[in-house]
Chains A and B, each alone.
Chain A
Amino acid sequence: MTNDHDGGHDGGHDHGHGHGHDHDDHTEPPSETALRVKALESLLVEKGLVERPALDTLVDAYETKVGPRNGAAVVARAWTDDEFRRRLLDDAPAAISSIGITAPKGEHLVAVANTPRVHNLVVCTLCSCYPWGMLGLPPAWYKSAPYRARAVRDPRGVLAEFGTHLADDVEVRVWDSTSEVRYLVVPMRPSGTHGWSAEELQELVTRNSMVGVEPARSPEVTS
């Protein structure tokens, strides 16, 4: 699971990136930011506006509970159940709650399906709107200035940076999330998965495939 990790990162460690350009979310913040955040937290707690255990619960929830497992379960179900797929594309919130998934930012969800003719890509050029309940919090690149600037103007160039190359006659359909509607891409089911169960298929559904920057994983690449 993507966000199943050791969450206790602290201090200014370098996570292996070049810093040759001003790259929104790869800027190493000065440690004075960490101090300023700590000071604000103490102040809010002392003032009586915030409870520290509520903050701890929020951090834990978004590190370990809310994440792309939800989206992957929805996509795998759509790959194996045509009736569910129809409902998902027609009324995503109803379809998702019908299989027992309830998650934040799901109230105005729209699912869009990739086909051999249409490839969907999601961005938020004005801020970083993202279907948290289906995918967890967005990765740094999704929030970065280069992605927000280029996904609408040069989607094929963006896809190429993720190793995704599409035929010229495929329509790239970019969804700019300017409202509270949230978009979830249903990638195409990979070939070579005939007879796979929804549970097995779920492992092929990556977060990036549900944002639309990559196809779902091929079975031969998995384990």
Chain B
Amino acid sequence: MIGVHDLGGMHGLGPIDPEPEEDEPVFHQAWEGRIFAMSQACSALGRWSIDASRHARERLDPVVYLRTSYFEKWLLSLESLLVEHGLLTDEEIARGSPTSPADEDVAARRLTPAQVTSSITSTGRRFDVEPTAPPRFRPGDRVRLRPVTTPGHTRAVRYAQGRFGTVEAHRGCHVLPDHSAHADAAGEHVGAHLYSVSFTADELWGAWASPHDTVRVDLWEPYLEAAT
């Protein structure tokens, strides 16, 4: 989707204003830690993919998206996901208590403290899948990022659409977010070859940019077309 979340290259958003690294808390307020943990725990129920979580944040009202903090977006998107996937109802959220217990098969997947402990000392799930065809591009190939105007989820950043770049590396065949964000989380994954593509700053931003600088973007094969 062409959305407000697609921030790369936007003007007018102000300075960065970093905090001193030594004094910086992980969570600035206690509720941030709670919504972070709830989002992780609810994802573990297996009803939606990481891409669906991202898309839920992208679908927030654009004004709300820009006005709210990172973890406020997590709260709003988690509420939407829980309702959309039938785990809670709007009524339950409004009254703050359940009208019925969770389905047993969902509750059986409830995250336990032991699972959390093992998850932080393991590398986590992989996103590469078995390819059904060989990669179409090789390092050194010139490519163009097609215009991608799907109203759904995509990772084809707006600032590089229509621009020419060079394939720098093949990263393997990875789950295609454009599919996974909208698919049944328990269903088959659709994969596509993933490449690191280098764009010169000049190609992206014009004469304004430093002639030496580059931006590397990870892009899936269906986003790309061969260029000469």
Contact = CB atoms under 8 A, between A and B. Distances in A.
A123 B175 CA distance: 21
B194 interface: yes
A96 to B, nearest CB: 9
Nearest to A67: B26
A49 B42 contact: yes
B41 A58 contact: yes
B134 interface: no
Given A3-B26, A27-B67, A177 B218 contact: yes
Nearest to A173: B214
A192 interface: no
Nearest to A93: B123
B124 interface: yes
A116 interface: no
Contacts of B213: 155-156, 171-174
Interface residues of B, number: 100
A173 B216 contact: yes
B111 A51 contact: yes
Contacts of B23: 5
B47 to A, nearest CB: 10
A144 B16 contact: yes
Contacts of B50: 180
Nearest to B200: A171
A53 B106 CA distance: 18
Contacts of B214: 171-174
Contacts of A41: 34, 38
B151 interface: no
A99 interface: no
B25 A149 contact: no
Contact of B16 (A58, A63, A125, A161): A161
Contacts of B13: 145-146, 149-150
Given A43-B93, A126-B54, 10 more contacts: A27-B68, A34-B29, A36-B75, A51-B111, A56-B113, A108-B127, A128-B70, A153-B205, A161-B16, A176-B157
Interface of A: 2-3, 5-13, 15, 17-18, 21-27, 29, 33-34, 36-44, 46-51, 53-59, 61-63, 65-67, 93, 97, 102-108, 123, 125-128, 133, 136-137, 139-141, 143-153, 155-156, 158, 161-162, 168-181, 206-208, 213
